[in-house]
Amino acid sequence: MTGVHIAALVALLAGSRGRLVATWMTAGIAVWTVVLTVTSVAGFSALGIV
């Protein structure tokens, strides 16, 4: 298990609603996907690969 899975489990055990936890998890994954994609493209561009 990763930290994200443990955090979701802790949130559910603490009484948070499952749908709310899933929404925030999805939003977090989407934001990190955009951030990592943009920084990867910028890095490859700086190296002249793209």
Running along the chain, 50 residues long, what does each successive block of 10 average in pLDDT?
Answer: 89 96 94 97 94
Provide the residue ranges of all domains of the chain, joining segments of one domain with +.
3-47
Instruction: Give the predicted TM-score (pTM) of the model.
Output: 0.76
C-alpha–C-alpha distance, residues 43 and 50, integer Å = 9
Say what the pLDDT of residue 19 is.
97
Handedness of CA 18, 6, 29, 24 (dihedral sign): positive
C-alpha–C-alpha distance, residues 37 and 7, integer Å = 24
